[in-house]
Amino acid sequence: MKDVKVEAEIRALRNEIEKHDELYYRQADPEISDREYDQLKHDLEALEAAHPEWVPNDTPTQRVGDDLVEGFESYIHRLPMLSLDNTYSEDEFFAFVERIVKGLEVVSVDFVVEPKIDGVAVSITYENGKLVRAVTRGNGTEGDDITANVLFIEELPRELKGADLPDVIEIRGEIYMRNDEFDRINAERSAAGLEEFKNPRNLAAGTVKMLDRDEVARRKLSIVLYGLGFCQPEIVSSQSEFSQTLTHWGFPVGERIWETRGAEEAWQAIEELDSLRDQLPYPTDGAVVKTNRLDQQDQLGKTSKAPRWAIAFKFAAEQSETVLEGITLQVGRTGVLTPVAELRPTQLAGTTVSRATLHNQEEMQRKDVRIGDSVILEKAGEIIPAVIRVVLEKRPRDSVPFVFPESCPKCGTPTRKLEGEVALRCLNIKCPAQVKGRLQHFASRQCMDIEGLGEAVVEQLVERSLVSNLSDIFRLAYDQIVALEKFAEKSSRNLLEAIEQSKTKKLWRLIHGLGIPQVGATAAKDLAKHFGSVAHLREANVETLVEIDGIGEKTAQGIVAYFDSEVNAAVVDSLFELGVNPTAPEMIERSQAIFEGTSFVITGTLPTMKRDEAKALIESKGGKVAGSVSKKTTYLLTGESAGSKLTKAESLGVKILSEADLIQGIEKGSLV
Ligand code: IVH
């Protein structure tokens, strides 16, 4: 491959992975399966290995994901929280064992094999036996403090009982949602006309990051503990001993834990777990194999993102057979017609499935899927169920091939296939299904985040012709909203307020919400940062756009074509006329970034500034503000009645500042 091409390929892969990291870790709403994601990472690793000269310091292959979100205090883990390397085949598993045996210079190693629970990693700290904090993995070094939400989990001990309790212990585990609770919540949502959640992992991840405590209380979360973080003084010498201690303290641990001697026994345990997994109460996508002895774990060490002494073995996707009762066609916001299988409800990977995607016309013809067929379903990485094949022996005699309509099932406009595409499209941009799709996208959490403007409400607004384009949202009046089904005075006011508030959300949210082809959240952020306003973005041409890191030729063309359309231009104009005024990303000029590379913690009551103000001020100068004091803290900004953070900062030799010191420092352009 030519060099420029490789470089572009590396950049494209990196952007793609970062996009999926954002969707998975921060938004808990992934688009692709874990397997597809691992493949992307694998491809990038291979390219990076061949071209170390283009590997930047912060490549996603060298770090664990990042789930830090706004609204939570962050906390630095005493010991970093790592990820695990994945394997998919028996050969890869034995190669892992081989590396361990070699690394330790022994003939055989004892392992522990346990279920890999598909949830959200959490680290729970107990000091002198008392639960003091629960923190997400975050970026591995620091995570979000989610204690308030974790305290809703009933089976989690608040206090450890017994002799010889450690002074401080970080216990690592996984918060998850039981399959039956997931089904219960979805049944309720479906009855209320709300969109169903995709899978238990996303719902658990979304729930621990909610600021609405009442809603958290309504969704039952569960927990399993499996790992040892920082512990002072040391209390155990092996992983299996640690699991026993956890059980003794009253923690839920893995449903089955195998202690094995050597590679063969470990492999048998993996196979046994695979055969048992659909009987487990939680979603499992694999087995975790850990070197049992802690001294051997230490000897093997870790890479920047994962321990060398453990590995995750990912199971093949689960399958299930059921009858295809019908085929419906969904029309998405871009007009693409997606055939959807309406199924006799069946259990798959622990949850009830009644619909599955059939992808597109070509795929359906290739598989020759017909109404009445018995079909095999698979959950691609536990996300969207798909029909993978037909059981031909069971095909009813009178079955006929499915005929795609020549016109859009929603608006009647003739359908077409665009050049080079496999998808059939409705080209009527006024098609109500497309309008609904665009509005839903605009209001969604990944875009303008307008609470209360979900699928069911959008449906009514479009049906009643109250809204036909994005700007109409900002024309809605109280009387129109209160007349909608399931709306009363308070909910109507709330929706109006949410719409009003969305006007000043961050610029990237608006850019993403416009629904420009190819422009997802990551590209929207790049564009917002580069242009600083929609007005500037509108003026850009393909040449200037492709110069931006992360924007390719096709995306650039899509952007230009979007704003060239008179209809789009008119909608964008109206948005601004109606008061939409997004917040531009803060561009910190180099000369202003006097705190770059420093980390602050704020404690106590400051004489004049509110904490948020002090935080904003520090950040505007390039500094970071963390929630707790650690070795990495540069300054502690203190006010009246500062407590334990001050003591800790003093003991670590962190520099202590007053509000006056901070202000003076800013005026002088330096704190030293
Ligand atoms: S041990 C040093 N054990 O899977 C890493 N992790 O894909 C120790 N996970 O980050 C992790 N079940 O969040 C371990 N039985 C188990 C697990 C488990 C689920 C999660 C964990 C980890 C991720 C890696």
Alpha-carbon span 31 to 151, nearest angstrom: 30
What average pLDDT does the segment 458-465 reach? 95
- Nearest atom of ligand 1 to the alpha carbon of 64: 10
Residue 365 · residue 319 · CB < 8 Å: no
Find where tokens 């709306």 sit: 487
Cβ distance 430 to 398 under 8 Å? no
Look at ligand 1, atom 12, and give the residue with the nearest C-alpha.
Answer: 116
CA distances 511 to 368, 495, 525, Å, are 40, 22, 8
CA-nearest residue for atom 10, ligand 1, is 83
417 a catalytic residue:
no
pLDDT of residue 644: 79
What proportion of the chain, given as a percentage, has pLDDT over 90? 57
Q: What angle do CA 569, 571, 572 make, to 5 degrees?
A: 65
Summarised one tens digit per residue, pLDDT across range 48-88 is 888 887 776 667 777 766 777 667 888 999 999 999 999 98
Nearest atom within ligand 1 for CA of residue 114: 15
Task: Using the mean position of ligand 1's atoms as its centre, give its distance from the Cα of residue 84 in Å.
Answer: 6
Closest protein CA for atom 13 of ligand 1: 121
Pocket mutation for ligand 1, best pick of 223, 288, 308 (most atoms within 8 Å of C-beta):
288
Pocket-testing residue among 123, 141, 174, 225, ligand 1, by greatest number of atoms within 8 A of Cβ: 174
Atom of ligand 1 nearest to the CA of 227: 1
* Number of the ligand 1 atom closest to the C-alpha atom of 312: 7
Cα(548)–Cα(540) distance, integer angstroms: 11
Q: How many Å lie between the centroid of ligand 1 and the Cα of residue 218?
A: 26
Can you tell me the mean pLDDT for 594-620?
Answer: 85
Expressed in angstroms and rounded, the spacing between residue 83 Cα and the centre of ligand 1 is 7
pLDDT reported for residue 587: 66
- What DSSP string describes 352-390? EEEEEE---HHHHHHHT--TT-EEEEEEGGGSSEEEEEE
Find the 117 Cα to ligand 1 centroid distance in Å: 8
Query: If you average pLDDT over residues 194-215, what whole number do you get?
Result: 84
Report whether pLDDT(590) > 70. Answer: no
The mean pLDDT value of the chain amounts to 89
Predicted pLDDT of residue 589: 65
Residue 602, SS3 per DSSP: strand
* Whether the predicted model's global pTM rises above the 0.85 cut: no
- pLDDT value at position 90? 94
Digit-coded pLDDT (tens) for 133-148: 999 998 898 999 999 9
* Alpha-carbon distances, residue 582 vs 439, 533, 534, 540 (angstroms): 18, 8, 9, 19
For residues 175 and 388, which has the higher predicted lDDT (pLDDT)?
Answer: 175
Q: How does residue 194 score in pLDDT terms, banded at 50, 70 and 90?
A: low
More confident residue, 191 or 297: 297
Which helix (H) or strand (E) segment is 459 a member of? Answer: helix 455-463
pLDDT at position 381 over 70:
no
Shortest CA distance to 478 belongs to which of 491, 459, 462?
491
For residue 175, report the distance from its CA to the centre of ligand 1, in Å: 11
β-pairing verdict for 168-176 and 222-232:
antiparallel
For the cut 60, the answer to whether the pLDDT of residue 1 exceeds it is no
Residue nearest ligand 1's atom 2 by CA: 82
- Pick the residue whose CA is nearest to atom 9 on ligand 1: 116
The confidence score (pLDDT) of residue 70 equals 67
Sequence-separated (6 or more) residues with CB below 8 Å from residue 625: 599, 600, 601, 602, 615, 618, 619
Q: Is pLDDT above 90 for 270?
A: yes
pLDDT tens-digit readout, 642-657: 777 888 899 999 999 9
Structural domains for the chain: 4-62 (1.10.287.610), 74-314 (3.30.470.30), 318-416 (2.40.50.140), 432-577 (1.10.150.20), 590-668 (3.40.50.10190)
List all residues whose CB is within 6 A of at least one atom of ligand 1.
82-84, 114, 116-117, 121, 174, 226-227, 254, 288, 307, 310, 312
Length of the chain: 672
Q: Which atom of ligand 1 is nearest to the CA of 307?
A: 2
In the prediction, which pLDDT does 57 show? 66
CA-proximal residue: ligand 1, atom 16 (nearest) = 116
- 202 touches 196 (CB < 8 A): no
pLDDT in tens, 17-42: 888 887 777 666 777 777 778 888 88
HEC string for 183-250: HHHHHHHHHCCCCCCCCHHHHHHHHHCCCCHHHHHHCCCEEEEEEEEEEECCCCCEHHHHHHHHHHHC
Q: How far is the CA of 226 from the centre of ligand 1 (A)?
A: 8
List the catalytic residue out of 19, 116, 505, 624: 116
302 alpha carbon – ligand 1 mean position (Å) = 14
Handedness of CA 665, 669, 671, 672 (dihedral sign): negative
Burial of 169 (0-12, 13-18, 19+ CB in 10 A): buried
For residue 350, the 8-state DSSP code is T
